[in-house]
Amino acid sequence: MQFQIIILGAGIIGVSSALHLQAKGYQVALIDKASPGKSTSYGNAGLIERSSVIPYSFPREFTSLLRYGLNRQADVRYNFSFLPKATPWLLSYWNHSAPAALDKAAAAMLPLIERCVAEHDQFVEAAKLNRFVKDQGWIEIFRSEKAFSKAKSDALALTKYGLAFDLLDGPALREREPHLSHTVVGGVHWLDPKTVTNPGALVEGYCSLFKERGGKVLHGDARTLKQTSTHWRIDSHNGVITAPEVVVALGPQSPDVYTKLGYRFPMGIKRGYHQHYRNLNNTSLQHPVCDTKGGFVLSQMDMGIRLTTGVELASETDAVNAIQLERCEKIARNIFPLGEPVDVEPWLGLRPCFPDMKPIIGPAPDHKGLWFNFGHAHHGLTLGPVCGRLLSEMIAGDSPFTSPTPYSASRFKY
């Protein structure tokens, strides 16, 4: 089977890239070893995060470092045995999180963040998936007056970005979320983002649109990728497929393919969990709420209330460790009436992260017809459609809506 473009990986990044390339007239094959949208793109918190104009950086205040050093926090935890291996990546992340470097990363990501909702809207409309998308933003909640007061000044410091938000004291917050307990003293309601009640179904829906428009979705192992003199080839379950162009969009598994081709990019993995809980006594959440200190998000999903955790630094192959989820659940139950867990086991996801807080989008430096789109860290659901657009413009040779230079693979020594 011959195509013009093969895309490896049917998560939000691969599916969005496929839709954009198809819209430009290419015959596209999308390859995954599993079903579309079942990996990292399934289990996230569902935020299309238009308000995240500052990337998720390494904390640099002494008090935070001390807190994390004890490894008893809910928002970040680590496996001690993993730290020696992770140290070079953590040091680089630390350096890129210095104020001037962070400003630079924020400026580089802004053109993508600014368009994230509009780009999703187009796919949602075309695929008739409005039932999965809410447009009421999400609420950041605080359990101490001190933390709430700092959050208010932090939010006001973002004025130059033109973000819409409401500052809510306890009573105002409970008008919007009546079942939040009095442990919560206030919140910042971010109004620009949209939120998704079933991220996996959204990606599946985008993929169905791709198929309805004539796209092919095939099962196969991306690690069989080979370059011939003129083409790229994959051994799919349906036979050999070839194309002159191939896109690697394998999220956290992208290194399985790019390292074999000689690239050594510094991708680190931040693990994260989720667990669903039954709604109790007709209570529900109207908006996702994020407890920043606890590092978790509670979102009303189709499967129940989903609690997603913050960051766990551990090897990809380390066993699931329920400690972080248990710490979060304890705080969450004081905030909102959660019922029994729905899932037998917590879900574990891998955020693919580069230390400079930007993805790689664009051509592979040393291989003709090889393209990259991975490393979207905490914001892959947010950025899928907009990054798919940018990549498709680069492949088609159109003038890109923003400069792709900040996301170039060549910024790393590989």
Ligand X SMILES: Cc1cc2nc3c(=O)[nH]c(=O)nc-3n(C[C@H](O)[C@H](O)[C@H](O)COP(=O)(O)OP(=O)(O)OC[C@H]3O[C@@H](n4cnc5c(N)ncnc54)[C@H](O)[C@@H]3O)c2cc1C
**Nearest approach, Cβ of residue 152 and ligand X (Å):** 23
**Candidate residues 77, 96, 379, 389; the one interacting with ligand X per rule CB under 6 A:** 379
Number of Cβ within 10 Å of residue 176's Cβ equals 17
Instruction: Judge contact between 362 and 105, C-beta under 8 A.
Output: no
Regarding 358 and contact with ligand X (CB under 6 A), the answer is no
**Candidate residues 5, 7, 12, 335; the one interacting with ligand X per rule CB under 6 A:** 12
Which of 45, 127 has the CB closer to ligand X?
A: 45
* Residue window 210-249: x/- pattern of binding to ligand X, with contact defined by CB under 6 A: -----------xxx-------------------------x
Task: Kindly identify the residues of this chain, within the stretch 45-74, that bind ligand X according to CB under 6 A.
Answer: 45-47, 49
**Hey, what amino acid is at 76?**
V
Regarding 253 and contact with ligand X (CB under 6 A), the answer is yes
Instruction: Judge contact between 21 and 28, C-beta under 8 A.
Output: yes
CA 325, 141, 151 angle in degrees (round to 5)? 120
Closest to 55 in 3D by CA, of 363, 377, 322: 377
**Nearest approach, Cβ of residue 12 and ligand X (Å):** 5
Number of Cβ within 10 Å of residue 362's Cβ equals 20
**Nearest approach, Cβ of residue 319 and ligand X (Å):** 17
Regarding 367 and contact with ligand X (CB under 6 A), the answer is no
How many Å apart are CA 108 and CA 110, to the nearest integer?
Answer: 6
Segment interacting with ligand X (CB under 6 A) among 9-17, 86-94, 236-244, 364-372:
9-17
Regarding 33 and contact with ligand X (CB under 6 A), the answer is yes
**Nearest approach, Cβ of residue 38 and ligand X (Å):** 6
How many Å apart are CA 236 and CA 253, to the nearest integer?
Answer: 17
Which of 350, 396 has the CB closer to ligand X?
A: 350
**Nearest approach, Cβ of residue 63 and ligand X (Å):** 25
Which of 215, 252 has the CB closer to ligand X?
A: 252
Segment interacting with ligand X (CB under 6 A) among 7-15, 179-187, 239-247, 398-406:
7-15
**Nearest approach, Cβ of residue 91 and ligand X (Å):** 23
**Nearest approach, Cβ of residue 148 and ligand X (Å):** 22
Regarding 378 and contact with ligand X (CB under 6 A), the answer is yes
**Nearest approach, Cβ of residue 171 and ligand X (Å):** 28
Segment interacting with ligand X (CB under 6 A) among 40-48, 208-216, 386-394, 403-411:
40-48
**Nearest approach, Cβ of residue 224 and ligand X (Å):** 8
**CA distances to 73, 188, 212 from 181, in Å:** 22, 16, 46
Residues in contact with ligand X by the rule CB under 6 A: 9-14, 31-34, 38-41, 43-47, 49, 221-223, 249-253, 256, 272, 274, 308, 349, 351, 374, 376-382
